[in-house]
Amino acid sequence: MMHTLGLAGRRAFIRTPIMRPQSVFIRTRLLNHLRIYRKALLWLALLPIIAVTPSFANTLPDFSALVESEGDAVVKVSVVADASQSSTSGIPGFDPEQIPEQFRRFFEQLPQNPSPVPRRGVGFGSGFIISDDGYIITNAHVVNDATEIRVGLIDRREFPATLVGSDPASDIALLKIDASGLPVVEIGDSDALKVGEWVLAIGSPFGFEHTATQGIVSALARSLPDDTYVPFIQTDVAVNPGNSGGPLFNTSGEVVGVNSQIYSRSGGYQGLSFSIPINVAMSIADQLREKGYATRGWLGVAIQNVDQALAESFGLEKPEGALVAQVTADSPADKAGVASGDIILEFNGQPVGYSSALPPLVGAVMPGKTVSVQVLRDGKPKTLDVTIEALDEGRKISSMSIPTDPVSESRLGVKVAEVPDELAERMGISGGVVVAKIAPDGPAAKAGIREGDVILSFNREEIDDVRELEELVDDAPADKSIPVLVQRERSPMFLAMTLPARKG
């Protein structure tokens, strides 16, 4: 009541001209002008937002037309496998120890009820039709060891499927159903993808058919453990068990990837999804359709990434390329003259920024083709012509044991011994010395050398015995990064070491 009266009283006072002094009149006009000025400034500030907001809203993707036009070609893949062949991961024939726990291939297996008859695992994934006569792409881990495969279409028809071929290395499988006039997807170009692009996944997460989820491309050419031949597309699209083998679309309605894995601590989606580039998938599918299996190129080198310390030791301005730690005897690389210590900077016209970029480039080359390889050797670029051969999946380096009776100790802070003939034969090496004991605070330990490592070269000089290593270490400069090639278990690697000043 008092508030209302006060306002009324003020309005009555202002409306009485005889009671308004000149100063009050001037101040009121100034305040009115100030209010108008402030409103004008506010509108000027809002104009860019008003102008930009509609156009920004128009850039947000509307996938409804894409789902309507392309969703018919996405299928649900159901499999049956003997329980004895199925792993506890729910993926028939897949060993969960093959990849770190955080990386999950998302194939759903349903729990089974107790039964007096032999149990059969029932699971499902996704796939998509690439030809109107019934060829379908899915993941290899979805159908491996399956005794029965069925494909369900969006119109609720189901067909038994035949496994044309499977390639576990790329996780791609090709199925065939007896049908015609089927809807097919449009194949895009995964090499044209850019980080930040919108993408859409369609699949059957947890069995919910034709579920669409969207996101953006988070990264390209990701290398995952035990998947060295696939440069994965990383996205933040929500995918879950059952999405395996489903398509990843771009905004033009083209398939650019095959959903394959997620990074998860819980087993479910946590923001990181990985898809096989469609260019890789189609290359494998074409081979599976033609001959039932896939072949990929083999170069014959063991490589590692180049960090800052190694870059300095090899005279690089910045870390780049793939450092050749070992060349397999009589391999394409060996025949072309590639040497241990070379840094591969370019392969077949494509730059090699990281070591993980090289295997997919090599694997994509058909055996028998000759390609150019640019390497950095002794600080100078060199171009070699390499004729790629077919990869033999069984090629491995044998493990090693540690000899006894160390016979020398050096400035490295290690005790080393000659490599026994039996051990050298098992490892497929010649020369070198084995580290039998290492000082915890010595230069070798700081560089990452461990007991059991075999030192093959020091400062780019090969080592045949203990005496040669001692001479090289004595002549080596102090406080300068030096490359040291060691073999550890099955893998050779370069390490960067800095020696202290000589005593005395």
- The token pair at 365 is 């080359």
If one counts every other C-beta atom within 10 angstroms of the C-beta of residue 464, the result is 14
210 is catalytic: no
Radius of gyration from C-alpha coordinates of the chain = 33
In eight-state DSSP terms, residue 192 is G
Question: Rounded to an integer, what distance in angstroms lies between the CA atom of residue 284 and that of residue 364?
Answer: 9
171 is catalytic: yes
3-state DSSP call for residue 186?
strand
Q: How, if at all, do strands 433-438 and 454-458 pair?
A: antiparallel
141 is catalytic: yes
Q: What are phi and psi of 192, to 5 degrees?
A: -90, 0
DSSP 46-104: HHHHHHHHHHHHHHS---HHHHHHHGGGEEEEEEEEEGGGB-TTSSBT--GGGS-TTEE
- The token pair at 21 is 């002094």
Question: Rounded to an integer, what distance in angstroms lies between the CA atom of residue 201 and that of residue 206?
Answer: 14
Q: How, if at all, do strands 254-263 and 186-187 pair?
A: parallel
What residue has token string 């640019």?
A: 374
What is the distance, to the nearest Å, from the Cα of residue 409 to the centroid of all Cα atoms in its chain?
A: 42
What is the distance, to the nearest Å, from the Cα of residue 49 to the centroid of all Cα atoms in its chain?
A: 38
What residue has token string 């994934």?
A: 125
In eight-state DSSP terms, residue 306 is -
Indicate which residue of 86, 141, 166, 167 is catalytic.
141
- Provide CB contacts within 8 A for 497, sequence distance 6+: 412, 443, 444, 446, 447, 449, 481, 482, 483, 484
Residue 476 · residue 459 · CB < 8 Å: yes
Indicate which residue of 126, 218, 244, 273 is catalytic.
244
Question: Rounded to an integer, what distance in angstroms lies between the CA atom of residue 354 and that of residue 316?
Answer: 14
Question: Rounded to an integer, what distance in angstroms lies between the CA atom of residue 501 and that of residue 479?
Answer: 7
Residue type, 486: V
CA quadruple 18, 21, 25, 28: dihedral, nearest 10: -110
- The token pair at 479 is 């406080």
What residue has token string 């083998």?
A: 245
Indicate which residue of 171, 227, 342, 453 is catalytic.
171
Residues labelled catalytic: 141, 171, 244
